[in-house]
Amino acid sequence: MENDDGSKVGYRTPSRAHQFKKDVCPNPLGRGAKNATGAGELFVRVLTEKIIVVDGTKSRSMPRIQIPIEQLGAAAMNGDLDAMEVLIDLRNSSKNGGEFRGDGIERVTVSSDRVLTLQLLRERMERAARRRRR
């Protein structure tokens, strides 16, 4: 087939009206840059990645973040006050959507509440240990 101006038209040869115009870019923005993963996204991806944990004869799959939390829980149950404090901090931060918020006055109030909570936990654990000894 030929066009009115004598140029061929057909498979892979569009007419002049439908060819790309000189000095006109049909896609000025291009494909765009590939989005680089930020540190926060990478952090979340690594912590939520499932891994297989072998516990004695059992194996189970769990997110990476669950392992240290379970270890903190076990240490807190054995009477480690630092582990209790970290668990309480984690719980309080999860209430806030995972962010540490507040000004200094609120933090002092929260830390004094934390001390009271730690004292109550220590007393409960001591009572439970005394009951087990009997």
Is residue 40 predicted with pLDDT exceeding 70?
yes
Is residue 8 predicted with pLDDT exceeding 50?
yes
pTM over 0.75: no
Is the residue at 3 inside a domain?
no
Is the residue at 63 inside a domain?
yes
Range of the domain at 60: 39-133
Total domains in the fold of the chain: 1
Is the residue at 114 inside a domain?
yes
Sign for the pseudo-dihedral over CA of 95, 97, 100, 103: negative
Is residue 63 predicted with pLDDT exceeding 80?
yes
Q: Please tell me which residue, 109 or 67, carries the higher pLDDT value.
A: 67
Is the residue at 13 inside a domain?
no
Is the residue at 50 inside a domain?
yes
Cβ-proximal residues to 81 (8 Å cutoff; 6+ apart), any chain = 118, 122
List pLDDT tens digits, range 83-130: 888 888 777 776 655 554 444 434 444 555 666 677 777 788 888 888
Is the residue at 88 inside a domain?
yes
Is the residue at 113 inside a domain?
yes
- In angstroms, the CA 45 to CA 123 distance is 39
Is the residue at 22 inside a domain?
no
